Every structure is written in structure tokens, then in C-alpha cells.
Structure 1
Amino acid sequence: MRTQRPERFVIEGGVSLSGEIRPAGNKNAALPALAATLLTDERVVLHNVPRIRDVETMLALLDDLGVEIEWLGEHDLALTARSVRKCALDPTLGREIRASILLAGPLLARCGEVELPPPGGDVIGRRRVDTHFLSLHALGASVEANHLRYILKAPKGLWGSDIFQDEASVTATENAIMAAVTARGRTVLNNAASEPHVQDLCHLLNALGARIEGIGSNRLVIEGVERLHGGEYTIGPDNIEVGSFIGLAAATGSELLIRGAAPEQHRMTRLAFGRLGVSWDVRGEDIWVPGQQQLEVCNEADGSIPKIDDGPWPAFPADLVSIAVVLATQARGTILIHEKMYESRLYFVDKLIAMGARIIACDPHRVVVNGPARLHGEEMESPDIRAGMALVIAALCADGTSIIRNIRQIDRGYERLEERLQAVGARIWREPL
């Protein structure tokens, strides 16, 4: 585990990278998978678990609940929830990560009640929890909520239901799935999120004895079973990390081979980045990004300014919007980038403007980027995980030296980032403040 002392990245830009890089396990698949181990009292072994801060925090929460945790290797983990000694989350740990709310469904199913604080995580805009509670209430839980804590109870157990979610929320979908797999009867979950990490959770639960159909669609049918058993599961590659590395290679004019990239998950990213002139080749399960690409915005057929926007799967992922903004600063032409989901995610562009980027902030959701811009090194602070990675890419594009503080945020989602980037030639170092 990383130390708690403040650290920073020192980055010397203007260096072309080359070589091979492999994505870590999917952060957004690992966190619900860890939560799901509460649903059985038998041993569950997870492979390809990323060693990142958010995983460390989730493991600390599970340890506090009484789960036995054993690292079998660098990325292999065994968890046994033989008994759960309490149903209330540690409030300090719970407020550290957004994913703490993923423990609501499993604890409700296992213990019949759960008490948790409002979740933490990135400050990228208003992030509702109502959809979680509406779905869990539909399964039979009572909900008491205020600004200090949430208390959910189902003393008579959970019952299958026909649920239509008011939004295709990823974590609300995952909570509903985990609560429903051992509920009595059938649950039909409509307007369900279908991202790769939601599919990973469903496949894991089925491996443990659950009965989930419709995986990958927006309608899941879940037949409740009496109990789940133990098992093994391998978490897939992090699609956001793959997209980040594609953006890194293209923005710096570097040739990179991204191993084990699951290319089928990046068809919309190919279209979105393609509007900036980015191309890559698929080689089996790998993605090869050629060096020295001439990035240029592809105008619309009617001559209007093209746009990149995000949305629920299979649309362009919201977590890659920050990467797209930096990439656009290196492409010739003008493009509108519309972040539909989170109204504070684009606030980091003031740091890019300070580096020399030509960006017009239209409103909290939209920016217009005019490129290419010659960036220069700056001292700045990482506001969240994805903006932090975007700033690392910008610093590697820039002339001179950049310093990025608050890299604890980056560590929440990217494993040993500086070491892996050093391996492909980046001049980046971690230093104590």
C-alpha cells in the first residue's frame, strides 16, 4: 500500500515513447467483484485485481466487516466472508470512495440491513444515489436517508420484482443485481447499465451459482437462488486505461503496443478518437498505435464543427472525455467536446489553458478546443482520477518540466503509473512533497 504522505509527479515532456504496455485489471469491475464476495460464506479467488488505492480502501472496508483476505500473488486475491460481524460501514473509509455504496446490496442480502455513510470519490458533479435506493426498495428494503447516513432494512428478506430504473446507472445496476441474486423469486431489471464491468460482475456471480440472463443487454432477468458458492474469476482489462494509453500514444506521436487490450470494447472510442485523426490496428487481443500520426479534426459533411460526446454504454465513455480534451489540443482544427453526464468534469481545462491550450469553456458541460497548441510545462494539481491522467498526458506533450500534485487521486485508478510509463521511455518520477 502506498504511504499516506503527499507526493507529486515530476514530468519532463517532449520525449517520444515506444514499446509495449499492458492495462491493469478493470478498476470498475474489481470493486463490485470484491463487494460480491459478501454474498457467499465460501472462498472466492479473484485474478487480475489491480493494486490501486480504491481497491485498498474497499479491502479495508471488507476487513472491517470480518472478511478474510489473502493475497496469493501480485494480482491474485482470495476472500472468504465466513461470517459478517457487523452491518455498518466504517464512516471514514466509506467516505473515501464512491464504490462504498456497492456494499449496500450485498450486505442487505446477507444481513437484512446495512448502514453506510454518503459515498465519496471524485468531485466531478452531482452523482445521485436515488436510483440505488429505488431499486433496493422495489426488492423489499426500507430506506432511511439523511446527509449523515443511509440505513436500509429488509427484516423479512428480499423479494424479486419488476424494476425499471430511472437512469442506466452502473453502480445502481450492480447493487440491484447483487441484491436480487439471492432474493426470492424472479427479478427483471429494465434500463440496466450494460458496461463491460457490469457484464464482468454478472459473469462472476453466475460462476458462483447465480442465474442471470440477458448479460450485455439493458434487460436482465435474475432468478433468485437460495445461496451462492465459492469459485474463481479473472477480471478483464481496464477499458479506460486502454483508452488512456491510446490517447497518450497519439498525443505524444509515439508508437505503442497495448497488450491484452480487448479491442472489441473500443469500437466507439475508435470512432470518437477518429474524429481527431487517430488510428490504430488490431492485432488479435492487442492494439498497435503507430507513431507520428498527423492529427487533424475531421469536419462534418455539412461543414459544421464536429463533436465528441459521452453517454451510457456502448457510447463513448465519460471517463475518457478528459483524455479526448487533451488529445484535441494536439489536433489541427476545431472540435466541440460535450460532457453530458458530469457538470464538473471539464473544470480541469483551466490547467490546460495555463499550459498554452486554446480552449473556450462554453458552460460546465461543453468546451471548444482549437488545435494544435504548443504546450509548456506547468505546476498543477490533479482534481480527480481521469483529469489527473489527462494532465499526465498533457505534461508528456509539453515543452519543459511539469509538476503534478495530489497524485493520490491518480493512484486511486492507475496502478504504478509512473513505473509503467518509464518502461516505455517517459521521463516521469514520483517524489515526496
Structure 2
Amino acid sequence: MFVVKQSNNLKGQITVSGSKNASLPIISANAIINNQIKLENKPKIDDVNVLEKIISLSKNKKELDLSIPEAKKIRSSILLIPYGLINYGKVKFESAGGCNIGKRSTSTFDDALIQAGVQINEGKYKEYTKQNKPNKKIILKEFSVTATESLLTYIAFLEDVDYEVNIKQIAIEPHVINLIDFLKNIGTDIKINHDHSLTIKPQKLKIKNKSFKIIGDYIEAGTFFAIGATVPNSQIQIKGCNVDELYSIFSMADEIGINYKLIDNETIIVDSYNIENYKNIKIQTTIFPGFPTDLQSIFAVLLTQINGINKIHETLFEGRFTYLAELENLGAKVEILNPHQVIIIGKTKLKGGYVSTTDLRGGGAMLLAGIIAQGTTYITEEKIILRGYELIQEKLKNLGVDINRK
């Protein structure tokens, strides 16, 4: 349990950790070549620890078994299917765990692998088997990050493919691009086009650099941006991010009236000195480079401190509003219109109480709510937060937040 007391006047600097969403597919790809590349900036978070444990447990097996309890703890276990197909030829998979943000179908993921020549049999478990060569043209059913990452990883390591594969409707989030850079580093020929498509041609393994750096976590950067913009009389310097990945946040900040300054390509200063003049807004999540779905819950807390009616349109997930019930427990005024749209009415003085962590980013929202709520806030299921935020307690303490874990 995190115990957070109201904490104003936050000051200081935080350095963003390595990206959770980039590290997981890159770790999975690196496992295929027995971790020959040293990964720099890998975050020390629970999801990474669990994924690496699953890989360790798979050694000396005839197939990759993703029906084990560890694989059900994290959604990213599905990213190990290419590893299992390349190294073992067969994968047994039951279900992906992770955050409760609504049902996430694997149909796009499965369809992508089928087009890549993988056979899938359904029974008590799903069985993925390496079967045929991939189609020369593969069209994803939607802009799926997981499907894009897994498809690229699988094709990159195929040894019997001597032609280019053209893939349409790929996701281009920063963590996807980081994976592509990793695959290029081992010799894969990949060319990205401007229409969400790319061509990929496997090449004989040829490692260019023995080390590879995982990008800074732009979701963590966005989280601290929201903290700096929301907590009264605060100013935070955020380092270690790529500002080019955050322009949807800057656009929203300009509309609201948030003060921020770009110091260089990796450094931002944000403050809350203009909070009394913030203007209400509509936030709409979408695929990159639009506003990220992973940040809408955290910025929803900011919206509780803006006068008038604020709107959120969540276009990607139907279960992403579960955190709002917890926010209401602290006094937020919320009206859910449908599974994709919500109204937040401000300005509201939040009051401390007991809340639960419904999902990773919802946990980030509860931390921010606890910081600005009067009194003390008790956040249960804090392990979910630790799945994706490295040293979050220490970073908040260094800024002046009164936070402890019991």
C-alpha cells in the first residue's frame, strides 16, 4: 500500500527511466540470439523481471510453454511467441495477463502470424507452430502495437526467406521504432514508409554494435509533466526523454494554458503557476503521434482541477475508465456517457481516502490524485504501479512528495 499525503510546492529534477513498452519486445528479440547484445537503460520494473524469468524457465524445453503461472501475470508474455517459434518451433499459449482495461482480442495478432506462415490450433490451449514462409504482402487488421512488434521480430529471424515482405497498417509508436532500430542493429533490412507500412527482409545475423540503448519512457515523462502541471506551486525539470515524442501533450498543454519550456531535445521544465487560468478541454486518445491512451487517466486528474466541463474520448479501449470510480471516491465529479466517453466537471477539491490501483496507468492517476488531495490517500494494489514505474516512490520523494509504502 502507498500512503500519500497532500504535498504542494514540488521542486526538483527527475530523469525518465528506460521505456517499459520498448524494453519488453526488445528483451524478447534479444533472447532469440541468447542475449548477445547488452541492453542499456533497461528499467528495473516488475514486468521486465517476470518476462526474463519466463525466458529462463523455458531453457532446455521442447516447446515454449506460455501457460505457466508467470506468463499469465503480464500481457507482454505474448511477445515471447516469436522467440518460441524461432527457437523451438512451437508455442503453447493460454492467455495474457496484465492490466484490467477491457477485453483485448488477439485476433489481429493471430491473423498477422497466420499471414506470416504460422499455424494456430485452438483447444484447451492455443498452439502456434512454425509452418510456412510468410506472404510477400501482409495487411494488419488494425494499427496494433503488439501485432506489429511480434510480426517484425518473427520475420527478422527467419533463415529461409530471401525476399522482401511488405507489411501494411503498422503501428509507429516510439517503442515500435526502438525495436526496429534493434532489429536493424542485428542486420535486418527494414525500410519504413510514410503511410504506416514497411518492407522487411531477413538477413544473416550481423551484429553492428554489441550494446543497444532502450529509449526513455515517454509515458513516464508524460506522467511527471501532468504532476508538474497539476500540483499547486510546483516546478519540475524532466530529463532523459525525447521531446519529439511528446508533441501531442504539448499541443494539449498549449490549449489548457500550462507553462512549460523545452530546454533541449531531452529536457522539459513544467510548472503549475498558471493553474488558476487553465481552460477546459477535450482529450481524445488515438494512435501515435496522437495523444496516448496510457496517459488519459493521469491527465483526467488534472482535469478535475480545471473549471467547467472537460471531456475525454477514449478511442482505443472500452475498459479504460475503471479508475474513475476510485477518483470519485476522492470527490471527483464524473459522468460516464458510454464506454468511450466521459465528462469531468471541475474545479473539485479532492479529499484523501482509500483507493485501489485498477491498472498500471490508473495507478499513476491515483498517485497524482493522492498528492493533491486534502489529507491522506491510501493506494492499495501498489504492485501494479511497480510493474511499469521504476523507483517511483524515490522519484516522488525527491520532488518533495510525502509518500511511503506499507
What TM-score, normalized to structure 2? 0.94
C-alpha separation between the residues in 1 aligned to 2:43 and 2:193?
24
Cα distance, 1:26–1:43 mapped onto 2, change above 3 Å: same
Query: By how many angstroms is 1:349 displaced?
Result: 1.0
1:408-419 residue pairs with structure 2 within 5 A? Answer: 408-419=383-394
Q: Secondary structure at the match of 2:322?
A: helix
Aligned with residue 428 of structure 1, among 397, 403, 406: 403
Superposition deviation, residue 231 in structure 1: 2.7
Contact in 2 for aligned 1:65/1:89 (Cα 8 Å): no
Tell me how far 1:84 sits from its aligned partner: 6.8
Aligned amino acid, residue 289 of structure 1: V
Match of 2:308 among 330, 333, 339: 333
| 8 A Cα contact 1:339 1:366, kept in partner | yes
Equivalent position of 1:19 in the other structure: 12
1:249 aligned residue (209, 215, 228): 228
Paired residue for 1:380, among 355, 358, 371?
Answer: 355
Aligned-residue offset at 1:380: 1.1
The letter for the 2-side match of 1:293 is N
**Shift, 1:228, TM fit:** 5.4
Name the structure 2 match of 1:272.
252
SS in 2 for 1:312: coil
Query: Where in structure 2 are the equivalents of 1:104-123 lying within 5 Å?
Result: 104-123=81-100
SS in structure 1 at match of 2:290: coil
* Alignment length (residue pairs): 400
Match of 2:76 among 99, 105, 111: 99
Higher mean alpha-carbon deviation, 13-22 vs 188-197, is at 13-22
Is 1:130 the counterpart of 2:123? The answer is no
What is the CA–CA distance in structure 2 between the aligned matches of 1:350 and 1:160, rounded to whole Å? Answer: 46
Alignment of 1:102-251 (within 5 A): 102-146=79-123, 148-155=124-131, 158-183=133-158, 184=161, 185-214=163-192, 218-227=196-205, 229=207, 231-251=210-230
Q: Distance in 2 between matches of 1:308 and 1:113?
A: 43
Q: For the residues of structure 1 that align with 2:65 and 2:145, how far apart are their CA atoms? A: 23
Aligned 8 A contact 2:329 2:355 in 1: no
For 2:52, which of 54, 59, 62 is the aligned residue? 59
CA apart distance, 1:159: 3.1
Partner of 2:297: 322
Corresponding residue for 2:243?
263
Structure 2 CA distance for partners of 1:296 and 1:91, relative to 1, 3 Å:
farther
Distance 1:154 1:136 in 2: 9
Report how far residue 347 of structure 1 moved: 1.8
Q: Aligned ranges for residues 29-40 of structure 1 at < 5 Å?
A: 29-40=22-33
Deviation per residue, 1:371-426 (Å, 9 max, x gap): 11111101111111000010100110111001000001101111121111001100
> Per-residue displacement from partner, 1:240-295 (whole Å, max 9, x unpaired)?
00000000111103100001221111001111233332231100120001242225
Whole-angstrom distance in 2 between the partners of 1:87 and 1:195: 28
Alignment match of 1:281 (pick from 241, 258, 261):
261
Give % identity.
Answer: 29
Say whether the 8 Å CA contact 1:160–1:224 is kept in structure 2.
Answer: no
Aligned partner letter, 1:161: K
Report the more deviating stretch, 102-111 or 414-423.
Answer: 102-111
Corresponding residue for residue 294 of structure 1? 275
Q: Shift of the alpha carbon at 1:364?
A: 2.0
One-letter code aligned to 1:380: V
Q: Distance in 1 between matches of 2:349 and 2:271?
A: 21
Q: Residues 258 and 271 of structure 2 are in contact (CA less than 8 Å); yes or no, is this contact kept in structure 1?
A: no
SS of 1:423's equivalent?
A: helix
Question: Which residue in 2 is equivalent to 1:406?
Answer: 381
Residue identity opposite 1:170 in structure 2: V
Partner of 1:73: none
2:63/2:89 contact within 8 Å kept: no
* Paired residues for 1:352-371 under 5 Å: 352-371=327-346
Which whole-Å deviations, capped at 9, do the CAs of 1:169-210 have from their partners, x for residues lacking one?
001100100111133122111100000000000001111111
Looking at structure 1, the residues matched to 222 and 199 of structure 2 have their Cα atoms a distance apart, in angstroms, of 31
Is this contact kept in 1: 2:67–2:92, CA < 8 A?
Answer: no
| Offset, 1:118 | 1.0
1:213-241 Cα deviation digits (max 9, x unpaired): 11786111101224454831100110000
Structure 1 residue ranges without an equivalent (≥5): 1-7, 67-82, 300-305
